[in-house]
Amino acid sequence: MRQVDAMIGRILLLVCCVGVAHCVIRTSISRLQPKGIRFSVQDEAGVSLVGVHYSINKPIRNVEAGTFNYDVNSKTGSFWVHENRQVVLSPGDKVYYWVYWVKEGRGEQLLNQVWTVPSEVTQKPVTSSGSAFTKKPEVVSVHVNQPIPALYSASDSDPGTVAHCSSYPCVIFRDDFDSFDLATWQHEITAGGGGNWEFQFYTNNRSNSYVRDGTLYIKPTLTADKYGEAFLSSGTLDLWGGCTNNQWYGCERRGTAQNYINPIQSARLRTKDSFSFRYGRLEVEAKMPTGDWIWPAIWMLPTDNAYGDWPASGEIDLVESRGNVQLRAPGGHSIGVDTMASTLHFGPFWPNDPYTKAHVEKTLQSGTFGSSFHKYAVEWDENSIRFYLDNQLIKTVDPGAHGFWGLGGFPNVDNPWKGRGKMAPFDQKFHIVMNVAVGGNNGYFPDNAQNAGYPKPWTDTSSTAMRDFWNAKSRWYPTWKPHVNNGENAAMQIKYVQVSKLKADP
């Protein structure tokens, strides 16, 4: 038996959990003697894991990594306990922290917490026997949770910098969408369509992106719902006030009888200004949209194009799908909403992108990716990139000793990754992107694909593709079921996004 002298800090946390009538999670922080800190989270039925992230005198904003980041995988008596006996605390020090827990398979979290080490303390013993607490930590002060003041700015630290993890795996980012954090998820505002001449424009509008009951919705709507149908052929879409990308006429479009303004309004979210990482595991639980010609994607782009413009600096596609219920490729296999794909894009310049060498598709035997939630994950390190569907490995991309240059088998052109390791261009920081697009002329929806009920209403070579698509509205719009469930069958729905470090950086 070992007795521990502890300086008890405080007990806290009354957390209202989304979707639960009443939920309480109690955490006490203790200053240990001669040095150290203890977090004790009271157990509740259904809790299977608790994580604690904290820094001393260094603010943590939302789900940023702390100086110390721990997952507690087992209980100690009736508590989930983390102790760190290397930390030296002095009166007046501030402990910035956030806590998350997994309860009945659902992640919940408390963010933006701070505790000031008191100047006057009362020593109280907390005894332990073996691995089980025999006495609950005593409470000497109670503090009402308040958000940390706005102490963080992009200049304070490099967004996405991964602080030291004391053990692995180590969660460095998680959003369970109890609220819509617009500082974490920045909206892109553009009509450029990513160079694919897609039929949507992206905006920041709660009709297209919103959080409800612990789920993020990204939902396409009709441009005509906001501006009227005549706007498509005669109006001006002016996005200059907040436009994020003017490529491909992204900040302004003028409608004519031949060239319609983008007939769909949607959303594209990214963490470029708030969070990026190199190596680890990205996991997302999501339900894909259902509806003809809808194109959802969860993916990653390089935060800095260290090797040049796309695709030289790489792209990691966690999941893409097509919303059509019955869409078949010329060979007869399904490419609709019952099928998903994961892909890497890389190459010295467009169109040299041998993505087929780093691509995998999976088709469900029953149901669709739009009828239920599934878990999509990618693990990424200095040796390979691995894709998972519902925790099952579906693809490993190991470029070999000659790296992605050798894997690509490129023609006699300059190698932008020469002299770098085998994983270049995937050896840099990437950020998360989530969006719902519609249509496009890059072949993602093949001209010769067979769609149940009617053929594709435009061709990739048509100069009036957006007009052709809109004129077929009576065929495709009913498949979006706009009058059912607030049109959310056509929305991509995300339960959580989590990033973990699996090991120390090489």
Between CA 51 and CA 72 the distance in angstroms is: 6
Alpha carbon 504 to chain centroid, angstroms: 22
Share of residues in the chain with pLDDT > 90 (%): 65
Output the pLDDT for position 20: 35
Q: Are 247 and 238 within 8 A, CB to CB?
A: no
Mean pLDDT of 473-499: 97
- Least Cα distance to 18 among 176, 144, 208, 209 occurs for 176
Output the pLDDT for position 42: 83
41-55, 237-251, 299-313: least confident range: 41-55
- Least Cα distance to 52 among 100, 84, 4 occurs for 100
Output the pLDDT for position 3: 34
Share of residues in the chain with pLDDT > 70 (%): 86
- 24: which 2 tokens? 């309480």
Q: If DSSP states are collapsed to H, E and C, what string results for 6-37?
A: EEEEEEECCCCCCCCCCCCCCEEEEEECCCCE
Output the pLDDT for position 66: 85
452-459: long-range pairs with CB below 8 Å, 24+: 452/324, 452/325, 452/326, 452/327, 453/326, 456/293
Output the pLDDT for position 25: 62
Mean pLDDT of 361-387: 97
Tens of pLDDT, residue by residue over 457-475, are: 999 999 999 999 999 999 9
9-18, 164-173, 463-472, 482-491: least confident range: 9-18
Q: First CA to last CA across the chain, in angstroms? A: 40
The answer, yes or no, to whether residue 126 has pLDDT greater than 60, is: no
Tens of pLDDT, residue by residue over 151-210, are: 222 223 333 334 457 788 898 999 999 999 998 999 999 999 988 999 999 999 999 999
Cis status of the peptide bond prior to 351, with omega within 30 of 0: yes
33-42, 212-221, 397-406: least confident range: 33-42
Tens of pLDDT, residue by residue over 50-105, are: 889 999 999 988 888 888 988 888 887 778 888 888 888 988 899 999 888 888 77
- Of residues 333 and 159, more confidence is placed in 333
* Residue 384: count of CB within 10 angstroms of its CB: 15
Q: In sequence order, what are the residues at sequence separation of 6 or more whose Cβ sits closer than 8 angstroms to the Cβ of residue 478?
A: none
Distances, alpha carbon 105 to alpha carbons 43, 49, 453, in Å: 15, 10, 40
DSSP string, 434-476: EEEEE--SSSSS-TT-EETTS--SS-TT-TTHHHHHHHTHHHH
- Least Cα distance to 445 among 295, 253, 254, 274 occurs for 295
Mean pLDDT of 315-319: 98
The answer, yes or no, to whether residue 306 has pLDDT greater than 70, is: yes
10-24, 72-86, 389-403, 462-476: least confident range: 10-24
Between CA 328 and CA 317 the distance in angstroms is: 22
The answer, yes or no, to whether residue 30 has pLDDT greater than 90, is: no
Q: In sequence order, what are the residues at sequence separation of 6 or more whose Cβ sits closer than 8 angstroms to the Cβ of residue 337?
A: 288, 289, 290, 321, 322, 323, 324, 325, 368, 369, 370
Walk me through the domains of the chain, giving residue ranges and CATH numbers.
2-175 (2.60.40.2140), 188-501 (2.60.120.200)
Mean pLDDT of 31-58: 87
Tens of pLDDT, residue by residue over 255-286, are: 999 999 999 999 999 999 999 999 999 999 99
The answer, yes or no, to whether residue 11 has pLDDT greater than 50, is: no
The answer, yes or no, to whether residue 342 has pLDDT greater than 50, is: yes
Output the pLDDT for position 150: 29
Tens of pLDDT, residue by residue over 220-243, are: 999 999 999 999 999 999 999 999
CA angle 143/148/150 to nearest 5° reads 160
36-40, 138-142, 246-250, 316-320: least confident range: 138-142
The rounded mean pLDDT for the chain is: 85
Mean pLDDT of 281-297: 98
116 pLDDT band, cuts 50/70/90, is confident
Amino acid identity of residue 183, one-letter, is: A
The answer, yes or no, to whether residue 8 has pLDDT greater than 80, is: no
Output the pLDDT for position 423: 98
11-20, 207-216, 251-260, 364-373: least confident range: 11-20
* Residue 473: count of CB within 10 angstroms of its CB: 14
